[in-house]
Structure 1
Amino acid sequence: MTRLGYTPYEPQLVPVEWAENIWTVEGPEVAYRLAGMAIPCPTRMTVAKLADGGLWLHSPVAYTAALDQALAKLGRVSALIAPNSYHYLNVKPWAEAHRESAVFASPDVVQKIDLARCIALVTDTSPKRATEIEQVSIDLGSFKETVFFHRASRTLIVTDLMQTFEESRIRSLPIKLLLKAGGATGPNARPSIEIRLAARSHREALRAGVERMIEWNPERIILSHGRCVQTNAVAEIERAFRWVA
């Protein structure tokens, strides 16, 4: 009998096409601490194929040889992205398996990744990819995240700034109640309470980032945690960050 705290999304560790040249990969559950409790958390990686044939891996899930081989059928891994203050633990194993890949990380985790070739993510990092994947970096002090926009599929790619832990998938009642109280269970995607607290002193930075996200006019949103947004993406962004206006 499984001990997982969150019913996983299937299939696990297999690229699933989202749109042309962009895939999602469901990863193993991880846990983080909140209010003294271990919170089960599903993980999701986004993979985009660039015009030069390279694969861009956003928030890499756990490395396995089988997943690496599956990705090799799509292209060569050329860029690894640790998009925020929390999503960096799996980057180094992928980087060691792909020593020619570029590595980009949130400025506060570059040293934690401990790779000489790791470059800090800022809004203007990698301008050569701007025609394919645009980005905006949002600095909330104790929390930093870079949000991406895949132009061809009109997909916004978000890590923790928006999430929807589906209530029906949470197996522990106390954890379900805690996440619900913190606004993490939806029904719509929104920032968790930890991020809303971090934003109290950085509302202008968050507002500017949200405005950029809306300007891109995405159609859908890939979230790293929980149910993705399949329609009405702009309305979902506006709803999630109405409190910032």
Structure 2
Amino acid sequence: MSGAEAISSSTISISRVSSLCQKGRPKQGASIFSKTTYTVQAQNLKLLNGSSSNSFPGSRRKCCIAATSAPDAVSKRSGGSRGRFYFNITGFPFPLGPFLERRTIRKEVDKGRIWIFEQEQALGFSSVTTNIRMTVIKLKSGGLWVHAPVAPTKECIQLLKELEAPVEYIILPTFAYEHKIFVGPFSRKFPKAQVWVAPRQWSWPLNLPLEFFGIFSSKVLRDMDKSSPWANEIEQKVLSSPEVGIGPYVEVAFYHKMSRTLLVTDAVIYVPKKPPEVVSKEALLEAAKNGLAVKLLSKGKEVPNDPIIDNESTRQTGWERMVLQILFLGPSDLLEPRKSFTQMSQKLIVSPIIKTLVFSKVPEKRYSKAPGGIN
């Protein structure tokens, strides 16, 4: 699953995810886009995503959620395209692009303490592109705790080294291939760091061991583990389903106590109104074309063959189409995506695909309130 952000047409109680901030908790019916890690920072639970912010009524405490979407924060990128080379043609059933070059953008979302690193990620040779996110937290020890590494390009590693702190822990919070693929190469850049992985790892169509992905000597994340090296600062909760289809859904949520920040991967997502900064203009314009996918899904409607003009409106159409294709299998409204996109954007949601394939098959549990942190 990857870093785009999008929403479900129907809302679902986030308590079902069993990994929320106990303080400043969003109301039921709040919903979330993308894969992989996005950050919501809040005063009144203000969502730092895209160019706008939202608030949940009734919440006055600061709370952040990090998952895969793009917050409003000061960004840092290196000049030019040097140091962005990264070769990857793997992935199933489609390879994960870009195949040769990945730009990295760093944003500071909690001064001196939390940063996000975003890269573009594409689905094979399609026009569907989104953002994938790595979140970095500075611990009291002075070391860095890295959640869901992205491709370790020279640019990415330089932006990380500018934080002037050693990488102590590298976290793989999910079984998902699009996050797993970068952990091995990233950990080789920081050989002294400990690698921790979500339990019940598996892959498909071949169930390959972690060593195949270059992940060696890793430790396993445990539910509410108070013995982990970061337990005094970051709580963790394992979300694990029975086998649904080809394998179990497994994800570990984390709660950074000092900043009241919740980190999730795919369990909940946020779809920003505007395309993330890291998604290229070329990808947005390509998605805005009335190509084969639009024609096939238009159900007999006449599809105009107008030339593509590079402007904000065209790029927005491209983003809206990307989101619908990430959230739904075969969306029927690609020709005019605005109405469906508006219903799903700027909210915390459960991805319709995750809701249908996973949560709908798992009995809902009721969780008693914990004295603080995650429950």
Say whether the fold is shared (TM-score over 0.5).
yes
CA distance in 2, matches of 1:153, 1:45: 17
Q: How has the CA–CA distance of structure 1 residues 53 and 149 changed in structure 2, closer, same or farther, with 3 Å as cutoff?
A: same
Match of 2:192 among 87, 93, 100: 100
Q: Alpha-carbon deviation of 1:202?
A: 2.2
Q: How has the CA–CA distance of structure 1 residues 51 and 167 changed in structure 2, closer, same or farther, with 3 Å as cutoff?
A: closer
Q: Alpha-carbon deviation of 1:39?
A: 3.7
Is 1:200 paired with 2:360? yes
Q: 8 Å contact 1:46–1:57 — kept in the other structure?
A: yes
What's the TM-score, normalizing by structure 1?
0.70
Q: Alpha-carbon deviation of 1:52?
A: 1.7
| Residue of structure 2 equivalent to 1:123 | 223
1:48-107: CA deviations, max 9, x gaps? Answer: 111222110001122122332332242001111111122222111111111111111122
1:1-245 counterparts in 2 under 5 A? 11-12=76-77, 13-32=104-123, 39-74=128-163, 75-86=165-176, 87-107=179-199, 108-109=201-202, 111=210, 113-125=213-225, 126-140=227-241, 141=243, 142-169=248-275, 171=318, 174-179=321-326, 185-197=344-356, 198-204=358-364, 208=367, 215-216=372-373
Q: How has the CA–CA distance of structure 1 residues 212 and 57 changed in structure 2, closer, same or farther, with 3 Å as cutoff?
A: farther
Q: 8 Å contact 1:11–1:26 — kept in the other structure?
A: no
1:93-131: CA deviations, max 9, x gaps? Answer: 111111111111122156253433112222145533111
Structure 2: runs of 5+ lacking an equivalent? 6-49, 51-68, 78-103, 203-208, 276-315, 330-339
Q: 8 Å contact 1:24–1:44 — kept in the other structure?
A: no
Q: 8 Å contact 1:149–1:157 — kept in the other structure?
A: yes
Task: State which structure, 1 or 2, has the greater radius of gyration over its C-alpha atoms.
Answer: 2
Q: How has the CA–CA distance of structure 1 residues 157 and 48 changed in structure 2, closer, same or farther, with 3 Å as cutoff?
A: same
Q: CA RMSD in A?
A: 3.5
Give the helix-richer structure, 1 or 2.
Answer: 1
CA distance in 2, matches of 1:53, 1:59: 20
Q: 8 Å contact 2:198–2:252 — kept in the other structure?
A: yes
CA distance in 2, matches of 1:213, 1:93: 38
Runs of 4+ in 1 over 4 A off after TM superposition: 5-12, 179-184, 211-215
Give the strand-richer structure, 1 or 2.
Answer: 1
Which residue identity is paired with 1:122? R
Helix, strand or coil: the match of 1:103? strand
| Residue of structure 2 equivalent to 1:221 | none
What's the TM-score, normalizing by structure 2?
0.48
1:145-204: CA deviations, max 9, x gaps? Answer: 100011111111111111123354261664444456589943311121222121223234
Q: What count of residue pairs does the alignment treat as equivalent?
A: 209
| Residue of structure 2 equivalent to 1:226 | none
Structure 1: runs of 5+ lacking an equivalent? 218-245
